[in-house]
Structures are given as C-alpha cells and as structure tokens.
C-alpha cells in the first residue's frame, strides 16, 4: 500500500512538472503587474521564456494598454507607430509561438518613455530543465530518494524494479508533453 502511494505521488509530481515544463504563464512585472513603476527589465531577465509559454499583461484597463512593436529600434525609440498588434483588456495574454524576440510597450502617451516597455526573448523548448534527457539516465536520477527511504532492505530489489518502470513511464510522460 505504502509503495503504491509513493508511486502515485511520484507520478503526480511528474504530471505537475510536465505541465509546468510544457506551458508556463509569465505575468509581466510579477506581482506589480504592467505598471510604470515596475522594473520590467529586471523582471524579464529573471524569466525564461519558452516556445508554448504565455505572457500575461495585467493592468487597469483604461490606464494602460499593450502595443507590440515591430523592431528593436522602434522599441528603443518608443516609436508606437510601428505597432503590429495592440491590446487593451487589462488581462492580455500573448502566446509565444516561436523562438525570437518580441517587443511590447504601453500605448498610453509618455508611458513607454518612462520605461513601461518590455522585451521578451523566447527560446526553443526542446531543452527541458530536466537533468536527465535520456531514459537510461532518468532511472538512476529518480531512484536514490525513494530507495533510501525504503525501510526494509529485503524489499529493495522489487522496489528497484518499480522505480525502473516508473522512470520509463516518466520518460514517456516527458516525451509526450
Ligand atoms: Cu502605461
């Protein structure tokens, strides 16, 4: 029973991890949101944007907006005339569909010049942060913790078998998502 529970827990954690790896949501500015006072540069440099992730702009609709700019120079100069897209719902979701850099600024007069802009560089999602990309090395990486917490040493062999099975299924899960 105890063993089944552990297996279930690991699978559950695997599924949660899988979900996080496959699509993360990045709220621009963190808890502050899309506002002039947020340090958006620092926020962006602390995030890793991957293909499939979403960027969410949260703000008071009417006070701000989101304008996507076409180029680095437009971004630098706050040239809002080059906008390729604009949003103003206050909860705008942008999906990152391919690697590359995208430029966003606030459309309210003067806000971009005050620093209300952010550059999002998306990287390919083909390299997950998992330390074990191959299924053969994923088995030992998942086994030490459960094996060491197992009380009876006589149960290690069947338990190792379960862990091996688990490793394989986890590898399968990761490949699927
Ligand atoms: Cu603004």
pLDDT tens for residues 88-136? 999 999 999 999 999 999 999 999 999 999 999 999 986 555 554 444 4
| Judgement on whether residues 47 and 33 belong to the same structural domain of the protein | yes
| Judgement on whether residues 103 and 145 belong to the same structural domain of the protein | no
Helix, strand, coil percentages for the chain (3-state, nearest 5) = 40, 20, 35
Bin 134: left if φ > 0, else alpha if -120 < ψ < 50, else beta.
Answer: beta
| Judgement on whether residues 51 and 112 belong to the same structural domain of the protein | yes
| Judgement on whether residues 106 and 151 belong to the same structural domain of the protein | no
Any idea what the CATH number is for the domain that residue 33 is in? 2.60.40.420
| Judgement on whether residues 136 and 79 belong to the same structural domain of the protein | no
CA of residue 108 to ligand 1 center, whole Å: 5
Range of the domain at 39: 23-123
Count how many domains the chain has. Answer: 2
| Judgement on whether residues 144 and 171 belong to the same structural domain of the protein | yes
Indicate the SS3 state at residue 160: helix
Virtual torsion, Cα 27, 15, 148, 159, nearest 10 deg? 180
CA of residue 22 to ligand 1 center, whole Å: 31
CA of residue 117 to ligand 1 center, whole Å: 9
Could you read off the pLDDT of 142-163 as tens digits, one per residue? 444 444 444 444 455 666 655 4
Contact 56, 95 (CB under 8 A): no
Burial of residue 106 (CB within 10 Å: 0-12, 13-18, 19+) is: buried
For residue 85, the model assigns a pLDDT of 96
Could you read off the pLDDT of 9-35 as tens digits, one per residue? 554 455 555 555 568 999 999 999 999
123, 141, 165: which is the final residue of a domain?
Answer: 123
CA of residue 123 to ligand 1 center, whole Å: 27
Indicate the SS3 state at residue 22: helix
| Judgement on whether residues 119 and 32 belong to the same structural domain of the protein | yes
């Amino acid at each position: 029973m105890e063993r089944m529970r552990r297996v279930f827990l690991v699978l559950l954690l695997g599924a949660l991890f899988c979900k996080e790896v496959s699509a993360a949501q990045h709220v621009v500015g963190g808890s502050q949101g899309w506002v002039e006072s947020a340090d958006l540069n620092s926020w962006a440099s602390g995030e890793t944007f991957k293909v499939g992730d979403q960027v969410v702009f949260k703000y008071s609709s009417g006070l701000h907006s989101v304008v996507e700019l076409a180029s680095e120079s437009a971004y630098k100069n706050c040239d809002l005339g080059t906008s390729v897209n604009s949003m103003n719902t206050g909860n705008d979701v942008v999906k990152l569909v391919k690697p590359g850099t995208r430029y966003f600024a606030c459309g309210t007069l003067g806000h971009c010049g005050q620093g209300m802009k952010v550059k999002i560089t998306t990287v390919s999602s083909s390299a997950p942060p998992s330390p074990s990309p191959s299924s053969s090395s994923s088995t030992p990486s998942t086994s030490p913790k459960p094996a060491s917490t197992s009380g009876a040493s006589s149960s290690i062999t069947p338990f190792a078998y379960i862990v091996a099975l688990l490793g394989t299924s986890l590898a399968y899960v990761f490949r699927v998502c």
